[in-house]
Structure 1
Amino acid sequence: MRRTPSRRLFAASLLVASILAPMMAIPATADHAVVADRFDKDKTPPDGLGRKLTARLDKAVEKVRRQAGIPGVVVGLWMPGKGSYVRATGLADTDTGEPMTTREFVRIGSETKTFTVTALLKLVDDGRIGLDDPISAYVDGVPNGDRITLRHLAEMRSGLYPYSEDPDFDHDLLSDPDRYFSPEELLEYGYRHKNTFAPGKKFEYSNSNLILLGLVIEKVTGHRLADVIERRVLRPAHLRHTLFPEGSEFPEPHPRGYTNQTLSGEVADSTDWDPSWAWAAGAMISNLHDLHRWAKIVATGELISPRLQAERLKTLPTGHPGTTYGLGIFKSDGWIGHNGSIPGYETVTVYLPSKKATLVVMINTDITVGEQEPSTLVARAITEIVTPKNVYSRPLPPS
């Protein structure tokens, strides 16, 4: 979920090149061969869904990639009892022509929220915090903090102004994308504005909510958020290729990321921008293998109690048809999970309980097409073919 800088900066996390050198975006009509790949330990054949269906998916993914001008796409679709579809197409680097592969690490943006909220819910299961505790019990200075609960924050129903919507924040970030932002600095951008509504009255996607939840986790545990997520979430989930970076570090291999979220509006390489500005809302990195595992874990509640998972899945209306939001998780026409969008990268990681199916999409651009996120276009094209009764179609939130 995101908006543009001055017109579109909104989502989860960033990373980037030391120089914002304007580049030409890959032409929408560029012709690049589909690269079929798979993980060394993945025993499922890439063409497990059969030749005809695989050919339809190849054609659909490549069509969207070209029309949306996406440099590179990675798709993983797993449908128990039917097979799987694992593909990479296009380029990881438009300068060198290096092809995209399924082994890439990517910035997962707002999918970080699923990890942060899972860490929070584990503290609830431990009896160390309560979902209906006011944020004022943990963090001072929050506007209306005595009425805003941890549940409101996780459900995006707090009414706190999104710090990433502040014009000064946009300018400060894009003027120096290598800059480190502390959580407190981020919140101050939002606190300059009045709350937009009373707690619980409606839905408004706001990264301010997750920054506060990250601070709660740190205060209660006495440890850094990254360490808590590593110990309480990543290790139990056996996610060995997922991390919460301390700075702009980025494991290899990874694709270059391309964005037009710049002061000039020109396309730039955002690969190494510092993600601190998104912190608990979107700074994490992962790959296809781990996101495949994580989709089911989040949707089925493997790491938390059944009681709390039931709470998590009580999703509420967002004002966007077909999409509801719960405790750091959304439902889109039956698919459960989250997406991520940051300058240079977008992801979708969702699970469909009715078919026990998992879909993961990773791309190396966040440049919208007709106000549509390119990752949504890819996910929609795939689900229209394989689950026509459950089409993923999360709309772009209003800026």
Structure 2
Amino acid sequence: MSRTHTWHRTGYGRTRYGRAAAVTLAAAGLLAAAACTGLTSSGSPAAHPTATSEPSARSLDPAVSQRLDKAITQVLRQTGVPGVIVGVWQPGKGDYIRAFGVADKSSGKAMSQDLRMRIGSETKTFTVTALLRLVDEGKVGLDDPISDYVDGVPNGENITLRQLAEMRSGLYSYTDDPAFDKALMADPDRVFTPQQLLDYAFDHPVGFQPGEKFQYSNTNTILLGLVIEKASGRSLREDLDRSVLGPAGLDDTLFPEGAEFPEPHAQGYTDQTPDGEEANATDWDPSWAWAAGAMISDLQDLREWARIVATGTLLKPATQAQRLRMLPTGFPGTGYGLGIFENHGWIGHNGSLPGYQSVTVYLPETKATMVILTNTDNPYQGSENSTVFAKAITGIVTPENVYSLPPAPASSAQPTASAASSGASGSAEESAG
């Protein structure tokens, strides 16, 4: 997940592995991957248009599609990303679905639209949805303290489930811990338990009082995964299958039990390693990202999920309204709700973890959906590569709503904008996992 930084990858901040992994998770982390280097089809920096009261989007006619082809090809070449899958859907204005580059650098196999990818911190949207389903069932309350469900959490009697989902708990992100980084990079195939991840986090003091400010932390979502297990009486995987993936009809999305990665899938590459050498991270065990960034999905499932999560299809209207109560993050144009963010009008999350990055977002004003999947978490000029693609694409298609997250900070605890994270490669980014 690049440690799921993608809000930041799984939303973390990015460092060379160890912290690199964490960053990816935050992704993803969503905010982490915000790129400020998007390009127009001509190769010049994309401008930030002034928003108006009448949101608009260009029809995806042949001329616009050609501009997108050119812009995406240029970003692919400039960032060094092996391959990317892109989907843009706009009711009444057409669709744009393409795959560029290669899925396997060894064989030269072309990227294709049907491949599964690891989605890092986008996992957070699924985990928090499962939590909110339990809220709707009356099994948990958003203002319950985490100490009601998990023992040993620093300041746990004062931290609510809501604050965990909002990334406002003050808890240290385990993916920032040097000992965790060392353990992960020494053995990427190692299986971590949720309690082991929490142990790394709880070795550090609380950073601030709950609700005081926003700070992307993968620790928050690991705790929410444990809450789901206790309140539902099922494993996190079983609950996600029953309460989220099944009702949503997402047959090609899964929460893996181990390092399994169903075919067909792209190979994933990372240079966020201790020695800076590129590694194939495809089959690294994602247990270190767990509820914050371990999931796998594909283009079409994420297309459906973008709308479902942004419109609240699986939740009661009052619960969805609480989810979309976006609070300040400190990043321009970006707010964070309950396991979801809004960036310049786009609602969703990004993700990142070693080898992969993603962005899945929905624009309510036009009912547009955008999904981007890449098979590397390597950054570009400090930004998540997925953000660079997203900025270039929205600069052409929705110029009044240009997706743009700032570069990730040095520490994965601060979403650089997964919020992921990718991790999530995700970001915000996150890369949570």
TM over 0.5: yes
1:384 counterpart residue number: 395
* Structure 1 residue corresponding to 2:157, chosen from 132, 146, 162: 146
> Which structure has more RCO (C-alpha within 8 Å, separation ≥ 6)?
2
Of the candidates 94, 100, 110, which is equivalent to residue 105 of structure 2?
A: 94
Structure 1's unaligned 5+ residue stretches are 15-47
Report Cα offsets for 1:92-148 as digits up to 9, x if no partner: 011110000000100000000000000000000011110000000010000000000
| Identical-residue share of aligned pairs (%) | 62
One-letter amino acid of the counterpart of residue 20, structure 2: R
Paired residue total: 366
Provide the residue aligned with 2:127 in structure 1: 116
Residue 297 of structure 2: aligned partner: 286
After TM superposition, the structure 1 = structure 2 runs for residues 113-192 of structure 1, keeping only pairs within 5 Å, are 113-192=124-203
| Counterpart residue identity of residue 270, structure 1 | A
1:19 corresponds to: none
CA distance in 1, matches of 2:24, 2:105: 24
1:103 corresponds to 2:114: yes
Q: Which aligned segments of 4 or more residues in structure 1 are displaced greater than 3 angstroms?
A: 11-14
Determine the C-alpha separation between the residues in 2 that align with 1:197 and 1:238: 40
Residue type of the alignment partner of 2:394 = T
Flag the structure with larger Rg: 1
Q: In structure 1, what is the equivalent of residue 343 of structure 2?
A: 332
Q: CA offset at residue 8 of structure 1?
A: 2.8
Equivalent-residue separation in structure 2 for 1:346 and 1:296 (angstroms): 20
1:42-53 equivalences in 2 (<5 Å): 49-53=60-64
Structure 2 residue matching 1:263: 3-state secondary structure: coil
Q: Cα offset for 1:261?
A: 2.1
1:74 matched to which residue of 2? 85
Q: Is the 8 A contact 2:171 2:207 kept in 1?
A: yes
TM-fit CA distance, 1:7? 5.0
Using the TM superposition, give the Cα deviation of residue 263 of structure 1 relative to its aligned residue in structure 2, in angstroms: 2.0
Partner of 1:274: 285
Rounded to whole Å, the distance in 1 between the matches of 2:302 and 2:264 is 16
**Alignment partners' CA distance in 2, 1:157 and 1:73:** 33
Gaps of 5+ in 2: 1-7, 27-58, 412-433
Give the aligned residue type for 2:21. L
Counterpart in 1 of 2:376?
365
1:341 aligns with 352
Deviation string, structure 1 residues 330-363 (Cα, Å, up to 9, x no partner): 0000000000010100000000000000000000
Q: Is the 8 A contact 1:91 1:99 kept in 2?
A: yes
Asked if the contact 1:119–1:233 (Cα under 8 Å) also holds between the matched residues in 2, the reply is: yes
Counterpart in the other structure of 1:308: 319
RMSD of equivalent CA atoms: 1.2
Q: Give the alignment's TM-score, normalised by structure 2.
A: 0.83
**8 A Cα contact 1:13 1:277, kept in partner:** no
Instruction: Measure, in 1, the Cα distance between the counterparts of 2:392 and 2:139.
Output: 43
Matched, 1:9 2:9: no
Partner Cα distance (1:328, 1:12) in 2? 16
Could you tell me whether the CA contact under 8 Å between 1:180 and 1:277 is conserved in 2? yes
C-alpha distance in structure 2 between counterparts of 1:294 and 1:12, whole Å: 21
